[in-house]
Amino acid sequence: MDFPTVELGRTAQVEEEVTEELTALRMKSGSLPVYATPAMAALMENAATLVMAPLLPEGWTSVGTGLDIQHKAPTVVGRKVIAEAKITAMDGRKITFAVRAFDGTSEIGSGVHERFLVQGDKFLAKAEKR
């Protein structure tokens, strides 16, 4: 299957408000009521999926295969976090993204995320056989 040529630098952003459910204390990734690293990672991955989604043929999606991030600053409950993903490379079905997160005051996280393009039904069938 030929995939569309993707313009490097293409971006998408998503945002969420930090709630009690998204804190390290609640997610059991730490002991303080601040934005959890797993929540930030999920938001970054969500931004990356949104970059590719409108470009994919019907039945195709992307799955995360790598995530290397740093969580640099705490964010308290009630603040808004914005995650951005930018395509930096595409090699066949492998797409690499630069990801960043901001809380309105500063950058709170950044890193690299990789996703792989798959046919949804074939991927699930393979997963069920494992």
Catalytic site positions:
37, 45, 71
Three-class HEC string of the chain: CCCCCCCCCCEEEEEEECCHHHEHHHHCCCCCCEECHHHHHHHHHHHHHHHHHHHCCCCEEEEEEEEEEEECCCCECCCEEEEEEEEEEEECCEEEEEEEEECCCCEEEEEEEEEEEEEHHHHHHHHHHC
